[in-house]
């Protein structure tokens, strides 16, 4: 069978869950409670229900959340009988924001461990219509590393509560490092 994996259906090569070795997989995702609530209330399209908030926060911190992605996670949460009145689009939209925040944190943590990395550079995903707070993040040179470059000790948070981060993040290496 040309172009397919071994006969047992597994992929060819060393692909293991997006290339993350088993010893580096996490059981608990990095989502600080204050960041969750900042985005929850900034999003504003979900009810002010402490039980729902706790359920979403706990689910978004579980490793299953990365596997399921936001849409499937919303469907899974809505399968609970006490969540029948929630709008799937709103819940999926909020989970997409959390997914973005979690993966951003994981990317920055991985960059921090990379030999020769001195920080990260923030640039905008789109051009033209960025909020003034986002423009300030990408244009500031508060640490003498260049516009939008931040050392790992001073990483800015998403400047748009309740919305996906408008930034693309790139690892910045010390000169002469690869």
pLDDT tens, the chain, 178 aa long: 334 444 444 333 322 333 444 555 567 799 999 999 999 999 999 999 999 999 999 999 998 898 899 999 999 999 988 787 899 999 999 999 999 999 999 999 999 999 999 999 999 987 668 889 999 999 999 999 999 999 999 999 998 899 999 999 999 999 876 6
**Burial classification of residue 95, based on how many CB atoms lie within 10 Å of its CB (0-12 exposed, 13-18 middle, 19 or more buried):** buried
What pLDDT is attached to residue 9?
40
Tokens of 120: 């990260």
Calculate the alpha carbon distances from 125 to 8, 31, 95, 105, 164 in Å.
41, 22, 19, 17, 11
The whole-model pTM stands at 0.82
What pLDDT is attached to residue 12?
34
């Amino acid at each position: 069978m040309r172009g397919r994996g071994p006969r047992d259906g597994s992929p060819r090569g060393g692909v293991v869950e997006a290339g993350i070795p088993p010893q580096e997989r996490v059981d608990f995702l990095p989502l600080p409670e204050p960041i969750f609530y900042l985005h929850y209330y900034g999003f504003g399209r979900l009810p002010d229900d402490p039980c729902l908030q706790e359920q979403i926060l706990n689910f978004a911190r579980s490793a299953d959340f990365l596997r399921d992605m936001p849409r499937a996670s919303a469907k899974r949460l809505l399968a609970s009988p006490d969540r029948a009145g929630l709008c799937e689009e709103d819940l999926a939209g909020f989970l997409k924001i959390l997914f973005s925040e979690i993966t951003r944190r994981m990317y920055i943590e991985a960059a921090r461990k990379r030999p020769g990395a001195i920080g990260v550079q923030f640039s905008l995903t789109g051009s033209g219509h960025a909020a003034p707070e986002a423009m300030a993040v990408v244009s500031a040179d508060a640490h003498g590393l260049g516009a939008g470059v931040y050392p790992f000790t001073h990483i800015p948070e998403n400047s748009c509560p309740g919305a996906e981060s408008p930034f693309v993040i790139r690892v910045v290496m010390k000169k002469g490092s690869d």
